[in-house]
């Protein structure tokens, strides 16, 4: 069903949701940056912005620096325990590209041997799409088949219009806002720039793309902003902190660009150069069958060297057309 309502009614609804759920929504910081944050009241929510928040939903379902187990062998009784928390019921208001990112994470963390923590967090998380009404400067999600306003695959979607909001609901399992008026509604066609993915088919081959790899490896500062802010980067490392008496084992986000990423015992590295690392990253994001870029543009937004995924795709297009 499609409903029309006004902004006040949406805010009152979000306020009432805060009483029963942990609500995660875009929030404007004092410097104007937008972050997905846990909000306490509807005053904190910002629904009117272009592009994506700076951080990603993975912060809330696949956290960095997660304690897997603790040990304390100092007392009479040795304690080795895995911390267990009952997941809260949560709702997240997020962009459609980030929903595609979550679906990719679901595929990776829930297939084969499921990550039980992830599974529990997801089972308790309701997704509400915030349809885009304008396109952000870095967005290119339509390249990967994402619609800035979801056409079908939503449970609840909010779309800002000239006069208020459209709320689209399909059996959401949530109380809806008051003051809804049923309307017929067809979302406007909104697309981001669509880049030619075909031009990057052989991008993993760094010998054939020597010029592009020269450019990338010369520019990249290895700051790792692109992988940590990518909603679909999931590589992690496990480290023990403390000593044999007391400490904890943690899971930390890792990056495929780090020089130690593929290093094995005795120092052997099957992918010894920076170009190898970049070739793997580009293959994972742009070429593999479950290619993991969703075109959110965060890597371009953060990269100090101007080589986010959109810029790299533009380089490949330019090379093909020369």
- By CB under 6 A, name the binding residues for ligand SF4: 220-226, 229-232, 257, 285, 293-299, 302-305, 307-309
Pick the closer one to ligand SF4 by CB: 102 or 293: 293
Residue 47: helix, strand or coil by DSSP? coil
Tell the smallest beta-carbon distance from residue 42 to ligand SF4 (Å). Answer: 28
Tell the smallest beta-carbon distance from residue 196 to ligand SF4 (Å). Answer: 16
Q: CA quadruple 309, 311, 315, 320: dihedral positive or negative?
A: positive
Exposed/middle/buried for 174, CB within 10 Å: 0-12, 13-18, 19+? Answer: middle
Pick the closer one to ligand SF4 by CB: 150 or 300: 300
Tell the smallest beta-carbon distance from residue 107 to ligand SF4 (Å). Answer: 15
Pick the closer one to ligand SF4 by CB: 136 or 297: 297
Pick the closer one to ligand SF4 by CB: 275 or 294: 294
Tell the smallest beta-carbon distance from residue 283 to ligand SF4 (Å). Answer: 12
Pick the closer one to ligand SF4 by CB: 92 or 230: 230
Would you state the structure tokens that stand for residue 217, as one six-digit string?
A: 């490896």
Pick the closer one to ligand SF4 by CB: 23 or 216: 216
Structure-token match 């005795």, residue found: 266
**Which residues contact residue 101 at a Cβ distance below 8 angstroms, ignoring those fewer than 6 apart?**
56, 57, 58, 231, 232, 294, 296
Tell the smallest beta-carbon distance from residue 195 to ligand SF4 (Å). Answer: 11
Pick the closer one to ligand SF4 by CB: 110 or 224: 224
- Residues facing residue 127 across a β-bridge: 92
Q: CA quadruple 207, 212, 216, 217: dihedral positive or negative?
A: positive
Q: Do 145 and 129 form a contact (C-beta atoms < 8 A)?
A: no
Tell the smallest beta-carbon distance from residue 313 to ligand SF4 (Å). Answer: 9
CA angle at residue 50 from 4 to 223, to 5 degrees?
145
Rounded CA separation 165/106 (Å): 30
Tell the smallest beta-carbon distance from residue 119 to ligand SF4 (Å). Answer: 23
DSSP state for residue 57 in the 8-state scheme: T
């Amino acid at each position: 069903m499609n409903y029309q309502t006004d902004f006040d009614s949406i805010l009152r609804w979000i306020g009432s949701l805060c009483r029963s759920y942990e609500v995660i929504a875009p929030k404007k910081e004092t410097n104007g940056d937008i972050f997905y944050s846990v909000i306490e009241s509807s005053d904190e929510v910002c629904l009117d912005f272009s592009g994506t928040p700076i951080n990603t939903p993975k912060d809330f379902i696949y956290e960095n620096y997660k304690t897997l187990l603790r040990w304390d062998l100092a007392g009479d009784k040795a304690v080795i325990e895995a911390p267990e928390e009952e997941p809260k019921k949560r709702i997240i208001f997020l962009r459609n590209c980030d929903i595609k990112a979550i679906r990719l994470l679901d595929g990776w963390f829930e297939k084969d041997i499921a990550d039980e923590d992830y599974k529990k967090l997801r089972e308790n998380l309701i997704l509400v799409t915030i349809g885009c009404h304008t396109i952000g400067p870095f967005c290119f999600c339509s390249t990967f088949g994402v619609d800035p306003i979801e056409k079908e695959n939503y449970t609840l979607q909010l779309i800002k219009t000239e006069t208020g909001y459209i709320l689209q609901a399909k059996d959401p399992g949530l109380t809806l806002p008051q003051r809804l008026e049923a309307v017929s509604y067809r979302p406007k066609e909104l697309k981001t720039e669509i880049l030619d993915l075909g031009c990057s088919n052989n991008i993993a081959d760094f010998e054939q793309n020597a010029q592009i790899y020269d450019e990338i490896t010369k520019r990249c500062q290895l700051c790792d902003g692109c992988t940590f802010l990518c909603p679909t980067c999931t590589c992690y490392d496990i480290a023990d902190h403390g000593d044999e008496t007391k400490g904890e084992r943690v899971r930390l986000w890792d990056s495929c660009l780090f020089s130690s990423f593929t290093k094995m015992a005795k120092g052997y590295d099957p992918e010894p150069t920076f170009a190898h690392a970049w070739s793997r990253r580009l293959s994972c994001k742009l070429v593999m069958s479950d290619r993991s870029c969703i075109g959110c543009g965060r890597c371009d937004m953060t990269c100090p060297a101007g080589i986010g995924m959109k810029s790299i795709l533009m380089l490949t297009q330019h090379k093909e057309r020369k």
